[in-house]
Chains A and B, each alone.
Chain A
Amino acid sequence: MKTIKLFLLLLALALGLPSLAQPAAGVRLLEGWVRLTPPTLKNTTAYMVLSNPTGRALRLTGGSTEVAGMVMPMTDYRETRDGAEIQGMREVRFLEIPAGGRLELKPGGKHLMLMGLKRPLREGEQVTLTLRFEGGATARLTLSVQNR
């Protein structure tokens, strides 16, 4: 079993897929990327699809990364004002991954904000994030910076 896991991990690395180095919280990263923003911006976003094969819901409360000051869970926000729909985003306490389900973080929807970038990111660069879950579990994952 261990050799199979190691093999899959090496295969994922060889294929250049984002990999979960330490899936301590039991989540699996199915895909993900960090948005390349104009170099003058101090914030960017991380998008990903996480699956939760465990039997209980997981709550993603944030995380950390070496390239930014904070990693915050955000959700999109919409309301109608004067007949016009407005859109924005709001910080949330957590984003939930249902037991046996998945969480999709995508443009225009739920996402993670990388606040206070310490330096401009480069296209193709690998960024390591440590996700933090309610109860203290963590998961480390690596995403590439993409100009999509």
Chain B
Amino acid sequence: MEPTPLPNPPKPDLENADVRHLRLLRTIRRITWAALVVVILIGAAGLFVLPNLRPYGPYGTRLVSERPAYDFSLVGNDNKPYKLSDFRGKAVYIFFGFVNCPDVCPTTLSELKKVYQALNPAEQSKVQVLLITADPERDTPEVLEKYVRFFHPKFLGLTGTSEQIAETAKGFGVFYIKSNIKSATEYNVDHTATTFLIDPSGKLRLLYGNGKPAQIGRMLEDLRWVLGR
């Protein structure tokens, strides 16, 4: 006698449920993957775009309100007259110092020399370094010529009458006074040792306190930023 066949379980229904379940899972998996890819792509794009959107934070000190730098009229170590506005189109570093200054001035000028030498020739043609004397009595164009050329032949030393230098210093908020006076020709000059960076349109943009220009890399970033705007 044959055994009575077992009644069929509701197989088609069960299969349908399994298939539907699997399809749903597959769809969920696909959506998850797609979402993950989109998130990764947006993230990657953000990495490239965001730094360009974020404003550049310069190393130098910014002025509360940007203003045109004082347009001086002085005489160069080549005996030619110079105004700041003659340097439109160039970024200009200005440092006040004096020739008989054995510590602070050569340190800053050496730092600016390193910055200048790190530029390519095209960039160098858009940058001018100026030393304005805080000692106009001793620093004639001839004295400045020998001094400034020692640091870089493209650097320019500027002098003038005592009144012209006083006006220029005032225009930049620089103060200077003789110290250690031993005779009419032997003395030191205490002076503001800030380096000023003026942009190609003649605006005073950044200030560097004494010692700060030693960070050549950061100085270059600032300089390229000022040149690029």
Binding site for B on A (CB under 8 A): 35, 37-45, 74, 76-77, 79, 81-91, 107-108, 111, 113, 147-148
Contact residues of B between 172 and 229, Cβ < 8 Å to A:
173-177, 179-180, 188-194, 209-211
Q: Which of B102, B103, B176, B180 contacts A86 (CB 8 A)?
A: B176
Q: Which of A40, A74, A79, A147 contacts B147 (CB 8 A)?
A: A40
In chain B, what residue has the closest Cβ to A40?
B146
The number of chain B residues touching the other chain, given as a range, is: 20 to 34
Q: Which of B110, B173, B190 contacts A88 (CB 8 A)?
A: B190
B-side contacts of A91, CB under 8 Å: 180
Q: Check A90–B180 contact: CB distance below 8 A.
A: yes
Q: Check B180–A87 contact: CB distance below 8 A.
A: no
The A/B interface has a contact count, at CB < 8 Å, of 81
Q: Check A83–B173 contact: CB distance below 8 A.
A: yes
Binding site for A on B (CB under 8 A): 99-100, 102-104, 106-107, 110, 143, 146-147, 150, 173-177, 179-180, 188-194, 209-211
Q: Which of B106, B147, B191 contacts A87 (CB 8 A)?
A: B191
**How far is B109's CA from A33's CA once the two chains are assembled, in angstroms?**
18
A–B Cβ pairs within 8 angstroms, 6 of them: A40-B143, A44-B102, A85-B194, A86-B192, A88-B188, A111-B103
Given contacts A77-B190, A84-B173, A86-B177, A45 and B211 within 8 Å (CB-CB): no
Q: Check B192–A76 contact: CB distance below 8 A.
A: no
User: How far in angstroms is the closest Cβ of chain A from B138?
Assistant: 11
Q: Check B173–A85 contact: CB distance below 8 A.
A: no
Q: Check B146–A45 contact: CB distance below 8 A.
A: no
